[in-house]
């Protein structure tokens, strides 16, 4: 059966594949509802192309379970501790939701919210896999690759009842434990991050928490929020311990692996000695963190501090900045003044500053009352970057630099150039800016760009790094993280073509604009490339290896590829026992760090 039909065994084990943007509101009073909110260069030389099809693995039959067909949502399975009034309330609210869903299904869904588009093919979910050892390895795993590569993704547990966006799915972590020093030893496991949301929906046997992007549009979105609050008031569910999905970023900090989406606190996940994964729980840094945290915190490679943002979509202050010492001690929040709540998925750090994008994609919940999406492109708003000292105690000294018509979903690095009073930012500039969230006719473009912010004159300059004749969509990737916040020469970025699939990755010389591509091969697609240095003390920035999950749509099999970053030659591939959906962001944790987990 072709991959496009790939599904899972039943509605309670339904499980898919970038980015997670949810509502971290504390009040919906602005919408008129008295409910508490859910936490809801130089000219380019011709590109060198390397093909990843050298180590093709044997074919294996793909088994695709069928998806149950339902005309209405299944009733909530009443827990044994519900009383008669709660059971009656659940039955009534289920009936209201059935009527709402029936009405919604009469209207066509936009592609950005249509589950038949958003979670089709290898974006479709998979069930959990317990650890499998002694995986087949082709080639030789470099000795320095000794640890575990983990990658996050959105993998819905239940069949969507109505609209569903790729970012809405429950978080699932895929882990490949590798011992390059022990005869190519490798194991694999994938597990859900046991968020409060997932635990409750699993117990009820159906989705009951609103999906912030796929469902919260227009009047039906408001109705879904009202149903959600009504269930909470009746004690049928509990949103007091978070509503997030933890499906986007992963960071290893202060001896803990943290799974994140910016709609909640992080979740701590432990990597067991066997290679399996275990959710410890929602992590608040010892009761220090009371706000949500952005999915892309940054760790300074020298100070080992972690820097983060938190944003709110309703209540001021809309944005806060804070940091943690290497031992996990949190600084006081710094409130960043914003006129409107900005959608902010990423930011950057330099040696001395944090770089905060305040762009034109914003949250306007009032648009739901008008029947629209709460995530919109505001053409009247100016894009700008805020430059703030890492050690700032307040935002009084923040420097704002306008950068017209600039929207970067991700920022790959930034550094200071004191001789010109500039901060240089490297990011992928997207147009149309809101096309990830709202359907549009224009094709999405993601242009790798250098943005220069002059701290003295307040002026900005932006240029594409790659020559226009060689332009390709580049999204998801990184620089050598041992040089984060410092001037770097190379970036390793996913070739996001045909969008939203990834046909390979590019090694880009940020100084010359030269591009070398590693292409996975015919109908083979992957995800974010992750750079692992061979030796932290090496004098070559690109001395290391690229790790990437790759899926063959002809055989419906997946593998982990290990590519030499110096030569872009495939060193090894690890055959995986089950399909790995296209996902979001990951990290590599050394064996030494694993031994010291909290």
State residue 298's pLDDT score.
Answer: 95
404 pLDDT higher than 80: yes
98 CB-contact burial (10 Å; exposed 0-12 / middle 13-18 / buried 19+): middle
Mean pLDDT on 364-386: 79
More confident residue, 497 or 547: 547
Is 133 labeled as ligand-binding? no
β-strand pairing of 384-389 with 524-526? unpaired
The rounded radius of gyration (Å) of the Cα atoms in the chain is 23
Q: Which of 106, 107, 127, 124 is nearest to 115 (CA)?
A: 124
Above pLDDT 90, what percent of the chain? 49
Q: What is the pLDDT of residue 386?
A: 93
For residue 15, name the pLDDT band (cuts at 50, 70, 90): very low
pLDDT tens for 20-57 read 333 333 333 333 333 333 333 444 444 455 544 433 33
How far apart are the C-alpha atoms of 30 and 484, rounded to whole Å?
Answer: 40
Taking the C-alpha atoms of residue 19 and residue 476, their distance in angstroms, rounded to an integer, is: 10
- pLDDT for residue 197 is more than 50: yes
Instruction: Give the residue from 532, 502, 500 showing the smallest Cα distance to 517.
Output: 502
CB 12 within 8 A of CB 251: no
| DSSP-assigned states of every residue in 370-424 | TTS-SEEE-TTSPPEEEEEETT-SSSTT-EEEE-TT--EEEEEEEEEEGGGTEEE
- What local confidence, expressed as pLDDT, does residue 163 receive? 79
Banded model confidence at residue 537, pLDDT cuts 50, 70, 90: confident
Determine the pLDDT at residue 371: 66
- Which of 99-103, 275-279, 341-345, 434-438 ranks highest by mean pLDDT? 275-279
**pLDDT over 60 at 507, yes or no:** yes
Q: What is the pLDDT of residues 275-325, one digit of tens each?
A: 999 999 999 999 999 889 999 999 999 999 999 999 888 788 889 999 999
From 1-10, 189-198, 211-220, 542-551, the region with the lowest mean pLDDT: 1-10
User: pLDDT digits over 79-126, tens only?
Assistant: 778 888 888 888 888 888 888 888 877 777 777 777 888 888 899 999
CA-based nearest residue to 427, from 416, 415, 414: 414
Burial of 81 (0-12, 13-18, 19+ CB in 10 A): exposed
Give yes or no for residue 177 having a pLDDT over 70.
Answer: yes
Beta strand pairing call for 530-533 and 544-552: antiparallel
Structure tokens at 268: 């701590």
pLDDT of residue 71: 53
Band the pLDDT of 333: cuts 50, 70, 90. very high
Residue 76: its pLDDT value, please?
Answer: 60
Q: Which residue has the higher pLDDT, 214 or 167?
A: 167
Flag whether pLDDT at 16 surpasses 50: no
d(Cα 598, Cα 68) in Å, to the nearest integer? 41
- Whether residue 435 is predicted with pLDDT greater than 80 in this model: the reply is no
- Going through 432-526 in order, the beta strands assigned E by DSSP cover 445-454, 460-464, 474-478, 490-495, 504-509, 515-519, 524-526
Q: Determine the Cα–Cα distance for residues 180 and 144; give it in Å rounded to an integer.
A: 6
Q: Which residue has the higher pLDDT, 488 or 66?
A: 488
- What is the average per-residue pLDDT within 428-453? 78
Query: Which region among 151-165, 349-363, 434-448, 466-480 has the lowest average model confidence (pLDDT)?
Result: 434-448
What Å distances lie between residue 326 and 118, 394, 473, CA to CA? Answer: 39, 21, 36
Dihedral of CA atoms 415, 424, 407, 24 in degrees, nearest 10, equals 30
**Ligand-binding site membership of 164 (annotated):** no
pLDDT of residue 115: 80
Judge contact between 415 and 423, C-beta under 8 A. yes
Residues in contact with 208: Cβ distance below 8 Å, sequence separation at least 6, in sequence order: 76, 200, 201, 228, 231, 236, 237
174 known member of a binding site: no
pLDDT surpasses 50 at 6: no
Which of 321, 432, 322 minimizes the C-alpha distance to 375?
A: 432
What number of CA atoms fall less than 13 Å from residue 545's CA on the CB side? 22
Least confident of 212-216, 466-470, 485-489: 212-216
Is 21 assigned to a binding site?
Answer: no
**CB-based burial, 438-454: b 16+ in 10 Å, e otherwise:** beeeeebebbbbbbbbb
More confident residue, 529 or 240: 529
* Residues ≥6 apart with Cβ < 8 Å to 558: 549, 550, 551, 552, 576, 578, 579, 580
CB 257 within 8 A of CB 271: yes
pLDDT at 23: 35
Cβ(471)–Cβ(464) below 8 Å: yes
Q: Which residues contact 36 (CB under 8 A, 6 or more apart)?
A: 26, 27, 229
Query: For the chain, what percentages of helix, strand and coil (3-state, to nearest 5) are there?
Result: 15, 35, 55
Cα–Cα distance for residue pair 381/373, rounded to 1 Å: 18
Whether the bond between 317 and the residue before it is cis, its omega within 30 degrees of 0, is yes
Is the predicted pLDDT of residue 4 greater than 70, yes or no? no
Structure tokens at 260: 């994140």
Non-local CB neighbours of 336 within 8 Å, separated by 6+ positions:
317, 318, 319, 320, 321, 356, 386, 388, 395, 398
Answer yes or no: are the C-beta atoms of 488 and 540 closer than 8 Å.
no
- Give the pLDDT band of residue 437 (cuts 50, 70, 90): low
d(CA 552, CA 51): 14
Which is more confident, 390 or 220? Answer: 390
pTM summary value: 0.84
Q: Give the pLDDT of residue 475.
A: 87
In this prediction, residue 25 carries a pLDDT of 37
Task: Specify the range with the lowest mean pLDDT, choosing from 68-72, 114-118, 135-139, 225-229.
Answer: 68-72
Which has the closest alpha carbon to 231: 219, 243, 245?
A: 243
CB 571 within 8 A of CB 173: no
Residue 505 has pLDDT above 60, yes or no: yes
């Amino acid at each position: 059966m072709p991959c496009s039909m790939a599904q899972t065994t039943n509605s309670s084990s339904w499980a898919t594949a970038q980015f997670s943007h949810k509502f971290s509101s504390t009040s919906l009073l602005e919408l008129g509802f008295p409910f508490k909110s859910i936490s809801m260069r130089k000219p380019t030389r011709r590109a060198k192309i390397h093909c990843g099809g050298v180590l093709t693995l044997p074919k294996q039959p793909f088994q695709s379970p069928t998806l149950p067909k339902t005309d209405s949502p299944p009733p909530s399975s009443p827990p044994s501790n519900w009383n008669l009034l709660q059971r009656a309330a659940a039955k009534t609210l289920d009936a209201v939701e059935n009527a709402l869903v029936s009405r919604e299904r009469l209207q066509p869904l936009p592609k950005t919210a249509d589950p038949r588009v958003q979670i089709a093919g290898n974006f479709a979910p998979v069930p959990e896999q317990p650890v499998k050892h002694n995986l087949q390895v082709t080639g030789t795993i470099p000795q320095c690759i000794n640890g575990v590569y983990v990658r996050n993704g959105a993998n819905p547990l239940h069949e969507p009842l109505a609209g569903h966006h790729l970012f809405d799915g429950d978080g699932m972590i895929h882990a490949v434990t590798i011992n390059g020093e022990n005869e190519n030893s490798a194991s694999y496991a994938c597990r859900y991050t046991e968020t409060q949301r997932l635990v409750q929906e699993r117990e009820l046997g159906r989705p009951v928490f609103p999906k912030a992007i796929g469902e919260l549009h227009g009047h039906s979105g408001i109705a879904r929020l009202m149903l959600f609050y009504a269930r909470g008031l009746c004690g049928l569910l509990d949103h007091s311990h978070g509503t997030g999905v933890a499906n986007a970023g992963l960071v290893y900090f202060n001896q803990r692996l943290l799974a994140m989406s910016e709609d909640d606190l992080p979740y701590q996940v432990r990597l067991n000695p066997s290679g399996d994964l275990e959710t410890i729980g929602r992590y608040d840094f010892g009761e220090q963190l009371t706000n949500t945290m952005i999915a892309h915190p940054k760790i300074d490679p020298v100070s080992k501090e972690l820097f983060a943002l938190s944003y709110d979509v309703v209540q001021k202050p809309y944005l806060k900045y804070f940091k943690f010492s290497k031992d996990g001690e949190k600084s006081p929040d710094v409130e960043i003044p914003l006129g409107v709540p900005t959608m902010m998925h990423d930011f950057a750090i330099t040696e001395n500053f944090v770089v905060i994008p305040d762009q034109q994609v914003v949250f306007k919940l009032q648009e739901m009352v008008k029947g629209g999406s709460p995530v919109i492109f505001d053409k009247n708003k100016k894009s700008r970057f805020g430059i703030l000292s890492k050690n700032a105690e307040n935002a009084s000294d923040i420097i704002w630099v306008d950068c017209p018509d600039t929207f970067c979903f991700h920022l790959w690095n930034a550094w200071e150039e004191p001789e010109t009073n500039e901060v240089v930012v490297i990011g992928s500039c997207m147009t149309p800016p809101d096309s990830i969230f709202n359907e549009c006719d224009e094709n999405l473009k993601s242009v790798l760009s250098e943005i220069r912010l002059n701290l003295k004159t307040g002026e900005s300059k932006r240029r594409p790094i790659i020559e226009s004749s060689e332009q390709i969509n580049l999204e998801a990737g990184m620089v050598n993280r041992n040089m984060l916040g410092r001037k770097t020469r190379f970036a390793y970025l996913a070739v996001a073509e045909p969008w939203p699939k990834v046909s390979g990755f590019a090694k880009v010389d940020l100084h010359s604009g030269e591009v070398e591509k590693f292409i996975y091969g015919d109908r083979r697609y992957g995800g974010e490339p992750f750079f692992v240095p061979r030796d932290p003390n090496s004098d070559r920035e690109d001395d290391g290896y690229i790790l990437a999950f790759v899926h063959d749509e002809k055989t419906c099999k997946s593998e982990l590829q290990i590519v030499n970053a110096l030569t872009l030659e495939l060193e090894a591939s690890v055959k995986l026992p089950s399909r790995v959906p296209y996902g979001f962001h990951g990290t590599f944790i050394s064996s030494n760090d694993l031994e010291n987990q909290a």
